[in-house]
Amino acid sequence: MDSSKNAVFDAVVIGGGIAGLQSALDLAGQGYKTAVVEKDASIGGKMIRLSKVFPTLDCASCITTPKMAAAAHHDNITLYTCCDVQRVEKNAAGVSVSMIQRPRYVDIDKCIGCRKCEYNCPVLVPDAEQGGFSGRKAIRIPFSNAIPQKALLDVEHCMLCGKCADVCPTKAIRYDQKPEPLAIQAKTAILATGYELSSVTGKPQYGNGDIPNVIDSLQMERLLAPHGPYGRVLRPSDGMIPDSIAYVQCAGSRDASMGVPYCSRFCCMYAVKQAMLLSGSLPLADITIYYMDIRAFGKNYEQFYQNAKAMGIEFVKAKVASLDAGQGGAVTVRYEDQTGEGATSRDHDLVVLSMGVLPGFAPGGVCPVGLGPDGFIQSVLPKMSPAVTDMDGVFVAGVAAGPKDIVDTITEAGAAAMEAAKYLTALSGKAPGAANKESAHE
């Protein structure tokens, strides 16, 4: 867990989401010293923020948390959180990564994660970790299963009132911490930088984020999560239990006007998954999915889609033209029904936009890795070795290379780790455990 200012590793993994953690665990398991660089205050990426995963409806946290804990406690893995990567470049020794570690304003070695600071802080601000639906304190543990379980102070919302310092049993508060430049030297690197959802403010026809009760799919994940903001699914404008919920597919992808002409691939399946979960938690609610095409491409996905239809979820083949605020907090969906009704409209209590997937990392000026026309990192051997990039010794894993679901992400992360291990073996002439095994035989 300890990170030092200038450190040398066999491998560096940029991104601490499920892809980065899987790659790091695979490398560390083979004996390679591995650094994981994460921009957030916790590892876990998007997956730890999800409720359940398709098509098995397993708890996302139950899959991700053990991997997070394994990475955090692995002797061969060093975590760097709150880090902004400034430069990734090749040099004679391999790959150098320079970054700035943003201050937590807390001594991470002293903080015991007791949350006394959080309970006593007087400033409440919208909690992005809960979709903005509830408040968080200026100083807080990022979320309940965050790793590391260390406090973090949002200095822009801090009054410097001193209550957190007063109650901290280990005197861990450091109001004067500064950003710290760090450098890592490694022989190989894996880019596992994930994705961001396109913004709901990017489409005027869908209200630019100004229509109450229009939310995005990650916000719905929080409403469905067991420790979500309300503990159940409620309408954010007034706390009403929604009777009618709609999904607008391709709300931020396959749309050249938003600069996202490609398909985001997993939105169909997460909408089906969320609809099934909603159908379980709100059995009387009408759930409608407005779609252009359903892409159920993976193993058992078609069956999952058919199960959703059998559960009574309504699939309307239509492109939604616009959304408007309706009466009493409703949202009016105007659409062209492609199966006969033509242009029509319907009111729903809550509308979820399946937003597009954008690259989580813009390497321009930071890392000279080649990109595809969609802005995701280009694989130079997409069929034979999808983890290989045009930078020798630099590999890519997960959504950093293009939209993909969790199953493919984890598989590709393992492949990237194998490519990196192969590269390291070729450099040294032997695998890291080989020397020990040889000496044991002698």
Partner 1 sequence: MSHNISDTPVSKEILKALRAERKDWIAGAAALARENKKARKAVMERLAAASATVPEIAEATGLAPDAALWMVASLKKFGEVVEAEKDGSFYRYALAAEAAQAQEA
Q: How far is the CB of 199 from partner 1 (least distance, A)?
A: 20
- Out of 234, 258, 282, 292, name the contact with partner 1 by CB under 8 A: 234
CA–CA distance, 218 with 358 (Å, rounded to integer): 14
- Out of 204, 231, 370, 382, name the contact with partner 1 by CB under 8 A: 231
Q: How far is the CB of 232 from partner 1 (least distance, A)?
A: 8
Compare residues 135 and 342 and give the one whose CB is closer to partner 1.
135
Residue 108 as a binder of partner 1 (CB under 8 A): the answer is no
Residue 327 as a binder of partner 1 (CB under 8 A): the answer is no
3-state secondary structure of 319: strand
Would you say 115 and 149 are in contact if contact means Cβ atoms under 8 Å apart?
A: no
Compare residues 153 and 420 and give the one whose CB is closer to partner 1.
153
> Taking Cα atoms as reference points, which of 372, 394, 393 lies closest to residue 382?
372
What DSSP string runs through 247-301?
EETTSSSSBGGGTB-S--SSHHHHHHHHHHHHHHHSTT-EEEEEES-----STTH
Compare residues 226 and 259 and give the one whose CB is closer to partner 1.
226
Compare residues 164 and 352 and give the one whose CB is closer to partner 1.
164
**Residue 354, token pair as written in the block:** 């399946």
With residue 26 as reference, give the H or E element that holds it: helix 18-29
**Residue 426, token pair as written in the block:** 């070729």
How far, in Å, are 55, 315, 349 from residue 288 at the CA level?
Answer: 19, 6, 11
Q: How far is the CB of 305 from partner 1 (least distance, A)?
A: 30
CA–CA distance, 1 with 6 (Å, rounded to integer): 15
CA–CA distance, 54 with 408 (Å, rounded to integer): 12
Compare residues 230 and 414 and give the one whose CB is closer to partner 1.
230
Q: Count Cα atoms within 13 angstroms, Cβ side, for 78.
A: 19
Q: How far is the CB of 325 from partner 1 (least distance, A)?
A: 13
Query: Any idea which residue has 């159940």 for tokens?
Result: 232
- Out of 240, 325, 407, 431, name the contact with partner 1 by CB under 8 A: 240
Q: How far is the CB of 273 from partner 1 (least distance, A)?
A: 24
Q: Which amino acid is present at 204?
A: P
Residue 382 as a binder of partner 1 (CB under 8 A): the answer is no
Instruction: Return the range that interacts with partner 1 (CB under 8 A); candidates 6-14, 17-25, 125-133, 253-261.
Output: 125-133
Residue 237 as a binder of partner 1 (CB under 8 A): the answer is yes
Residue 134 as a binder of partner 1 (CB under 8 A): the answer is yes
Task: Show the binding pattern over residues 169-208: x = contacts partner 1 (CB under 8 A), - = does not.
Answer: --x-xxxx--------------------------------
Residue 326 as a binder of partner 1 (CB under 8 A): the answer is no
- Out of 57, 114, 158, 263, name the contact with partner 1 by CB under 8 A: 158
**Residue 309, token pair as written in the block:** 């239809």
Q: Is the dihedral of CA 104, 108, 114, 120 positive or negative?
A: negative
Residue 160 as a binder of partner 1 (CB under 8 A): the answer is yes
Residue 125 as a binder of partner 1 (CB under 8 A): the answer is yes
CA–CA distance, 78 with 43 (Å, rounded to integer): 12
Query: Any idea which residue has 């159920």 for tokens?
Result: 296
Q: Site size for partner 1, by CB under 8 A?
A: 40
* Per-residue buried b or exposed e for 230-265, using 16+ beta carbons within 10 Å of the residue's own CB: eeebbbbbeeeebebbbbbbbbbbbbeebebebbbb
- Out of 229, 252, 393, 402, name the contact with partner 1 by CB under 8 A: 229
Residue 135 as a binder of partner 1 (CB under 8 A): the answer is yes
Q: How far is the CB of 153 from partner 1 (least distance, A)?
A: 11
With residue 406 as reference, give the H or E element that holds it: helix 406-428
The phi and psi torsions of 229 (rounded to 5 degrees) equal -65, -35
With residue 306 as reference, give the H or E element that holds it: helix 301-310
- Out of 2, 75, 178, 239, name the contact with partner 1 by CB under 8 A: 239
Applying the rule CB under 8 A, the residues between 358 and 377 that interact with partner 1 are: none
Residue 138 as a binder of partner 1 (CB under 8 A): the answer is yes
CA–CA distance, 371 with 362 (Å, rounded to integer): 9
Applying the rule CB under 8 A, the residues between 57 and 86 that interact with partner 1 are: none
- Out of 7, 70, 114, 155, name the contact with partner 1 by CB under 8 A: 155
Residue 166 as a binder of partner 1 (CB under 8 A): the answer is yes
- Out of 96, 98, 149, 230, name the contact with partner 1 by CB under 8 A: 230
The phi and psi torsions of 220 (rounded to 5 degrees) equal -65, -35
Residues that bind partner 1 (CB under 8 A): 119, 122-126, 130, 133-135, 138, 155-163, 165-166, 171, 173-176, 212, 229-232, 234, 236-241, 243
